[in-house]
Amino acid sequence: MSKEALAALKLELVAKHGEAQKARIERGVDQVAALWRPEDGDLAAFAREQFLPEGPQLDATFGRLERLFEQLDGHMNELGRELQWFTDLDLGPLLPVESLLASYDPSSNVTADLFQAKPGFVVLLNFPLTTLAERTKAGPSWTRRQWAEAKLASRFNRRVPAEVEQQVSRAIADANLYIAEYNLWMHHLVDAKGQRLFPQGLRLISHWNLRDELKADYTDAKGLAKQRMIVQVMERIVTQTIPAAVINNPRVDWDPFTNAVTVAPPESVEPNAPERPAKADVAPEPDTRYARLLATFQASRRADPYSPVAPTRIARSFELDRGLPEERVRALLTELLASPLVPRVAKLIESRLGRPLEPQDLWYPGFRPGAKVPEAQLDALTRKRYPTADAFARDIPRILQGLGFTKEKADTLASYIRVDASRGAGHAQQALRRGDFPRLRTRVEKGGMDYKGYNIAVHELGHNVEQVFSLYQVDHTLLSGVPNNAFTEALAFVFQARDLELLGLGQPDAASERERVLNDFWQSWEIAGVALVDMATWHWMYDHPDATPAQLREAVGQVSRDVWNQYYAPVLGRKDSPLLGIYSHMISYPLYLPDYPLGHLIAFQIEEHLKQRGPLGAEFERMATFGSVTPDEWMRHATGAPVSAESLLKATAKAL
């Protein structure tokens, strides 16, 4: 419609419904017109029929749509879970069809169909689209209904064709499957003398288990040599100089320092070894890691023209999904990275280790309670307690009581959570409708759940408990969830920090509280640089949209080295390491990594609040039921202050 015709339509609707509805009419008509296409028909006729003045009919429509979208989202989520069932879970070798099923997203058509069938335009005509600036400024004075209306309208802030959405889903599913099967059989890593530093049968997924093994090696007599080897492996993965033949292949041996590959002696091969070629092939992985990332970028870029409110994946990630401007997130990260507290904590770590720091000390875990307990002892404890995923599920009520929930609440929460053995490192999958159940996935090896799997399971349990509260107890299901992924990560960190206590180790006292603060600071510092690399990588791809996988590999290596040299080399003692590029999230979860340092900051603010208010159970429930509002609004409700690094920095200075 022409501007004149739209103006005439607005005047007509105001005359019909009254001057009190003028602002709603003008905004609603403009919102519809921005996304209306010629094939959608007569916009004026639609507006005359579907505009609803404030009153009972508008209220009833809101209620109907809220109920509908809970069911629609929930069932689509369940269909997606079924399609990915075998790629997500450790249920044996995959059928050739599984990757195709996992890449199909049944929800990709939903928004496009709702525009075509017109309910999407009904929402835009009657409920306000809001900007992040509007939500931030006006949100504190909004009613819960206003928050829910804003969430409802935000579903239709862009109109991306279904085939484009499907391409994005397919690219991400392919990347997830690639990462889920990226394992290294550690017994087949050899040093210059041909020695095997790791036990037979140890199969570690990149990057999660490699990192966690590195952390565990601080208590091992051969730990330093093992850590240096793992760092070399990680750097070869980032630079794609890792021989393709050694990935998930226990039938060859590999020296990651010289890159030599030899056929493994038959007696060294694990009984459960997968069928792989026993061939000493040194050909590098052909930039598969970066081909997967580029595929996700190219698919995402196709959606850009259809999203005028946030015309890049980067903008959508921060403005729409995260609810925090990229500039603010970057400022929080650099505040951590450049803190004068970093060299002071590093000096303390150096004094404990009795040696200069090295790149692996990026993941120093020695501040954690129980960190001096050998990993083998922890593995024996968790394997005995949790021989299967079901055993962990049965223990959830006890775990939750140990975290401060009442017996009644713990039993109720446990009844909603389902536990599965994961093919990958592990994850939590939420439910999106009342009547469905969130899933906890963690790796359970043949001999039972090792400590790495248990640690991940406790983290995922935090996600699941948040997911139960924020779906089943929120006042509007349109507000189910939390403001963004950083918040569910934060709540999961609160659980994970207590994993050793739940095993009867590392009971809190004044000394362990000091150590907890230093541990949180060091972890936040570590992951802040990783997040900067993820962000810079996406900016590089937008600046070089026609790049090849090889060019992207070189760019990620350079970005990783640049961030390393600026913030980490002065502390960890070696320049030009690409180590920050190792995180698998960069490949399989686009622009997810900034949520981790944000999650650490949020978790610390929550922990500081719990020290004053506690107990954990009741406060966790109060926070998690507030719903998906802006980050600062949620934090003010939870702790009385907006998202900030101040609490962590002040507490770290005090601890030092």
pLDDT digits (tens, 9 = 90+) for 466-522: 999 999 999 999 999 999 999 999 999 999 989 999 999 867 788 888 998 999 999
Helix (H, G, I), strand (E, B) or coil at 442: strand
Nearest to 424 by CA among 246, 596, 205, 185: 205
Alpha-carbon span 246 to 311, nearest angstrom: 40
Q: Residue 285: how many CB atoms within 10 A of its CB?
A: 19
388: left (phi over 0), alpha (psi -120 to 50) or beta: beta
Residues 151-179: pLDDT tens digits? 999 999 999 998 999 999 999 999 999 99
Per-residue confidence (pLDDT) for residue 215, from 0 to 100: 94
Cα dihedral 529/532/538/544 (nearest 10): -90
Tokens matching residue 249 = 């292949």
Task: Output phi, psi for 244, to 5 deg.
Answer: -60, -30
Read off the pLDDT of each residue in 431-438 and give the average, rounded to a whole number. Answer: 97
Residues 95-105: pLDDT tens digits? 999 989 998 89
Q: Label residue 355 by pLDDT band (50, 70, 90).
A: very high
Read off the pLDDT of each residue in 200-212 and give the average, rounded to a whole number. Answer: 94
Percent of the chain with pLDDT strictly greater than 70: 99
Q: Label residue 10 by pLDDT band (50, 70, 90).
A: very high
Helix (H, G, I), strand (E, B) or coil at 108: coil
Q: Is the pLDDT of residue 614 over 80?
A: no
Alpha-carbon span 482 to 467, nearest angstrom: 9
Read off the pLDDT of each residue in 388-400 and give the average, rounded to a whole number. Answer: 97
Helix (H, G, I), strand (E, B) or coil at 89: strand
Alpha-carbon span 157 to 25, nearest angstrom: 17
Q: Label residue 31 by pLDDT band (50, 70, 90).
A: very high
Per-residue confidence (pLDDT) for residue 512, from 0 to 100: 84
Nearest to 329 by CA among 189, 337, 476: 337
Name the pTM for this structure: 0.88
Percent of the chain with pLDDT strictly greater than 90: 90
Helix (H, G, I), strand (E, B) or coil at 181: coil
Residues 132-151: pLDDT tens digits? 999 999 999 999 999 999 99
Alpha-carbon span 354 to 484, nearest angstrom: 41
427: left (phi over 0), alpha (psi -120 to 50) or beta: beta
Per-residue confidence (pLDDT) for residue 395, from 0 to 100: 98
Q: Label residue 370 by pLDDT band (50, 70, 90).
A: low
Answer yes or no: are the C-beta atoms of 518 and 366 closer than 8 Å. Answer: no
DSSP string, 510-545: HHHHHHHHHHHHHHHHHHHHHHHHHHHHHHHHHH-T
Per-residue confidence (pLDDT) for residue 418, from 0 to 100: 96
Alpha-carbon span 247 to 197, nearest angstrom: 18
Per-residue confidence (pLDDT) for residue 132, from 0 to 100: 92
CA 144 to mean position of chain CA atoms = 27
Per-residue confidence (pLDDT) for residue 369, from 0 to 100: 67
Q: Is the pLDDT of residue 371 over 80?
A: no
Alpha-carbon span 323 to 482, nearest angstrom: 11
Helix axes 208-216, 451-472, angle to 10 degrees: 120
Helix axes 631-639, 485-496, angle to 10 degrees: 30
Q: Label residue 415 by pLDDT band (50, 70, 90).
A: very high
For 79-94, letters b (16+ CB in 10 Å) and e give ebeebbebbbbbeeeb
Q: Is the pLDDT of residue 602 over 80?
A: yes
Per-residue confidence (pLDDT) for residue 97, from 0 to 100: 95
Q: Label residue 324 by pLDDT band (50, 70, 90).
A: very high
Enclosing H/E stretch for 420:
strand 418-421
Tokens matching residue 216 = 């565990």
